[in-house]
Amino acid sequence: MAEINIMSYETVALDDERSALVIIDQTKLPSEVEILHLTEQKDIWEAIYLLKVRGAPAIGVAAAFGVYLAAKQIQAESYADFYTKFKVAKDYLDSSRPTAVNLSWALNRMEQVVLSAQDKTVPALKALLHKECVAIKDEDVWMCRQIGEYGLTVVNDGDGILTHCNAGQLATSKYGTALAPIHLGRERGMNFKVYTDETRPLLQGARLSAFELFADGVDTTVICDNMASQVMKNGWVQAVFVGCDRVAANGDACNKIGTSGVAILAKYYGIPFYVCGPTSTIDMSIEKGEDITIEQRPAEEVTEMWYEKRMAPEGVKVYNPAFDFADHELITGIITEYGIARPPYTQSLKEIFQKKQEAQKK
């Protein structure tokens, strides 16, 4: 069992009394659990950009809290003045990372609160924004649990599960997306054997997924990314669960770099490959994976990070995309909080959103 049980910490929280966004600095894990209290917008922007807070749902929650804290500080006499200043803060946070759709989704949702309340006073607007950001977090917890419930329907007790990157509690408010079935199953006494790809170059699998799974008492084995094929060939994997940062209308799923390769391997070995994510991560305005903007990260993440000495020649070119996408033809199912979408995704994803609309009417 891990010495520090990371599962007892909140990944993202709001300290309204101190006007602070409270996060775990994930760049320090697993060796150090440092809790940051961020009150300045530049520090919140930097925390998102530098992956101190990461994972599409957690980024969305952090952005919602962040823009609320910005709004809380706005001094304005009129609605127009308030909205102008709010929009500046919203656009600033929205510029921190381009690929994870939850960032803009949460900020747009917060902006819609302001746009829908033009007759309200400035104090009333701030109160509405507080209510909305808290709701976004509460919905995230509910969403993760639902994904866990649906995910448990496609695996059996004792199965081997492979995952890539970290789409667990450290990427959300609770449970996670890809790891939600595992954590929820563990609560119910189920025992899975989980293989976590280390996930180069930032090692989210080795540092984060393994950390939280081990803390939760899950049978966990870390493997290098290039070992996934051998583990599958050995017959140790019955399902693959991965998260997602943006899903296109045709089912192409953008996730941490390396996910595409895992999907191809799973297809070759006949292993079900599931993408787990909330409907807020599905972007029906994007037709296909090729249309998703892929974030390019600094070369130093590949050549220097984690090493005592530089591990590549000075001046050599480095290609460091943060994401790739699994082609929809490789995906067995997309597990959402409103059910599991299956091929053809152009139809099933629309049906998922119809279920969502019907549920919200009740």
Residue 352 belongs to some domain of the structure: yes
pLDDT per residue as tens digits for the range 56-73: 899 999 999 999 999 999
Q: CATH number of the domain that 71 lies in?
A: 1.20.120.420
pLDDT (average), residues 97-120: 94
Residue 306 within any structural domain of the chain: yes
Domain extent, residue 274, equals 146-361
CATH code of the domain covering residue 347: 3.40.50.10470
pTM as predicted: 0.92
Q: What is the DSSP string of 106-160?
A: HHHHHHHHHHT-TTS-HHHHHHHHHHHHHHHHHHHHHHHHHHHHHHHTT--TT-E
DSSP letter assigned to residue 255 = E
Give the count of domains, the chain: 2
Residues 80 and 163 in one domain: no
Indicate the pLDDT class of residue 101, thresholds 50, 70 and 90.
Answer: confident
Q: Kindly name the residue from 245, 252, 283, 324 that is annotated as catalytic.
A: 245
Q: Which residue has the higher pLDDT, 98 or 234?
A: 234
- Written in H, E and C, the secondary structure of 19-81 is CEEEEECCCCCCCCCCEEEECCHHHHHHHHHCCCCCCHHHHHHHHHHHHHHHHHCCCCCCHHH
User: 296 pairs with which residues across the strands?
Assistant: 321
Structure confidence by residue, pLDDT tens digits, 274-332: 999 999 999 999 999 999 999 999 999 999 999 999 999 999 999 999 999 999 999 99
Q: Are residues 137 and 152 in the same domain?
A: no
pLDDT at 2 > cutoff 50: no
Do 129 and 169 have their domain in common? Answer: no
Same domain, 122 and 39: yes
Residues 55 and 158 occupy one common structural domain = no
Please determine, for residue 145, whether its predicted confidence score (pLDDT) is greater than 70. yes
Say yes or no to pLDDT of 357 above 70. yes
Whether residue 154 sits in one domain with residue 109: no
Examine the domain organization and report whether 75 and 184 are in the same domain.
no
Averaged pLDDT score across all residues of the chain = 96
DSSP 168: B
Q: What would the pLDDT profile of 192-234 be if each residue is shown by its tens digit?
A: 999 999 999 999 999 999 999 999 999 999 999 999 999 999 9
Q: pLDDT digits over 245-259, tens only?
A: 999 999 999 999 999
Examine the residue annotation and report whether 245 is marked as an active-site residue of this protein: yes
Phi/psi of residue 241, nearest 5 degrees: -120, 125
